[in-house]
Amino acid sequence: GLTWRNGTRKKLILYWYQVGGSATSNDLEAKLYQLTARLKGRQDAALLAIAMDCDVNCDAAEKELIKLVEPFNDMYISHVKYK
Nearest to 53 by CA among 7, 19, 20, 4: 4
Beta bridge partners of 50: 14
pLDDT in tens, 19-69: 988 888 889 999 999 999 999 999 999 998 888 888 777 888 888 888 887
Tell me if the pTM is above 0.75.
Answer: no
Confidence at residue 76, expressed as pLDDT on a 0 to 100 scale:
56
pLDDT-derived band at 72, boundaries 50, 70, 90: low
* 75, containing H or E segment: helix 59-79
Is the per-residue pLDDT at 79 higher than 50?
no
